[in-house]
Amino acid sequence: MTDIKKPVYLEEKLEEVTQSGRLEYRSKSLPTWCPGCGYFSIVEGMTAALNRLQVQPKDTVVVTGIGCASRFPFFVNTYGFHTLHGRALPVATGIKVANEKLTVIAVGGDGDAFAIGGAHIPHAARRNVDMTYVLFVIVIYGLTKGQTSPTSVLGFKTGTSPYENQDAPLNPLMMLLSYGAGWVGQAYAGHPHHLADMIHQAIAHRGFSYLHVLSPCVTFDKTTKTYKNLGVMVRDLPEDHDDSDQMAAMGEAARTEAPAMGVFYQKDRPTLGDGLQEIVKRARGTRTAGKRRAARQAAE
């Protein structure tokens, strides 16, 4: 008989990653998510992307808020910061400003991001902080047992909305595009190879990149964004999609009934770090010029 307290599946998984040599980026801590949760694909995709990019674990920091998604730092072998609910982006911004050489990745759930943390997103995007934000979108609050989130669909029934959700969902992709994010893409936990490729591209982008990952919550959403439903809904972006055309990206993002997979938009522009380094140079130049002037005056 199976001992239900023993995470058999997870131990097998650990053996598999140990054999594959991926433990360099995957931590030995076993994910505590429910078996079948889409988040397993995201941790796999992240470790595969970091492995391909060959960024050193010691030079990488994963920052999260609170939620099932936010347990992520425990499962990767990088530096990590499990911060307060909704506060991943300001903490990640501080880390990047303090040490420009680090690869900084913020991770979270859509409640953490767009409810309590919603006010931080436009600022990280408009400042073009050189970091990646990977959002795990299960359209529900997982950790607190299935309440509606800002991305839940109208009419969604949960334990706390038994008479159906009356609040229209946000469209995070359209929001990020209008906030000025320099890289915006979408992936699906049910397509793990594409997901790993998208995480790779998002991290490789210089500037603020936002990856929206659709992921089923197998425990609390049995009706809307399930593997069965998402498997039918998702599509590729059209082959002729121009990822330098922000308006075309907006049009694709508006089609929520058929979520498109791929890079919606990408544009290079100076990062927050570029601007700050310039200020440091100018301030140092002014100070040096000031010192020279004072020395000249003292000598006269």
Ligand X SMILES: Cc1ncc(C[n+]2csc(CCOP(=O)(O)OP(=O)(O)O)c2C)c(N)n1
- Which residue stretches of 159-226 are H helix? 172-179, 192-204
Which is closer to ligand X, CB of 23 or CB of 30? 30
Region binding ligand X by CB under 6 A among candidate stretches 63-71, 160-168, 255-263, 291-299: 63-71
Q: Which residue of 83, 93, 149, 224 would you call a contact of ligand X, by CB under 6 A? A: 149
Distance between CA atoms of residues 37 and 218, nearest Å:
6
Return the range that interacts with ligand X (CB under 6 A); candidates 46-54, 137-145, 157-165, 228-236.
Answer: 137-145
Find out whether 203 and 132 touch, Cβ atoms under 8 Å: yes
Judged by CB, which is closer to ligand SF4: 183, or 188? 188
Per-residue buried b or exposed e for 47-65, using 16+ beta carbons within 10 Å of the residue's own CB: bbbbbeeebeeeebbbbbb
Nearer to ligand X, 81 or 267 (CB): 81
- Look at residue 72 and give the partner it binds from ligand X, ligand SF4, none, a contact being a CB closer than 5 to 8 Å depending on partner kind: none
Among 25, 41, 42, 110, binds ligand X (CB under 6 A): 110
Residue among 113, 53, 97, 104 nearest 78 (CA)? 104
Contact window for ligand X (CB under 6 A) among 109-117, 165-173, 264-272, 289-297 = 109-117
33 binds, among ligand SF4, ligand X, none (CB under 5 to 8 A by kind): ligand SF4
Residue 102: CB atoms within 10 A of its CB come to: 19
Q: Please tell me the distance from the alpha carbon of residue 151 to that of residue 276, in angstroms, as a whole number.
A: 35
Give residues in contact with ligand SF4 (CB under 6 A): 33-34, 37, 39, 68, 138, 142, 217-220
Rounded CA-CA distance 95/106 in Å is: 11
Supply 126's token pair.
């408009």
Chosen from ligand SF4, ligand X, none, partner binding at 219 (C-beta under 5 to 8 Å by type): ligand SF4
Spatial contact of 217 and 142, defined as CB atoms under 8 Å apart? yes
Choosing among ligand SF4, ligand X, none, which partner's interface includes residue 23 (Cβ < 5 to 8 Å by kind)? Answer: none
- Smallest gap from Cβ 55 to ligand X, in A, equals 25
Rg (CA), the chain: 21
Q: Does 216 contact ligand X by CB under 6 A? A: no
Q: Which lies closer to ligand SF4 via its Cβ, residue 208 or residue 220? A: 220
Q: Which of ligand X, ligand SF4, none does 144 bind, CB closer than 5 to 8 A by kind?
A: ligand X
- Give the Cα-Cα-Cα angle 7, 40, 226 (nearest 5 degrees): 105
- Residue 244 and residue 18: Cα distance in Å, rounded? 40
Interface residue list for ligand X (CB under 6 A) = 66-69, 85, 108-112, 116, 136, 138, 141-144, 149
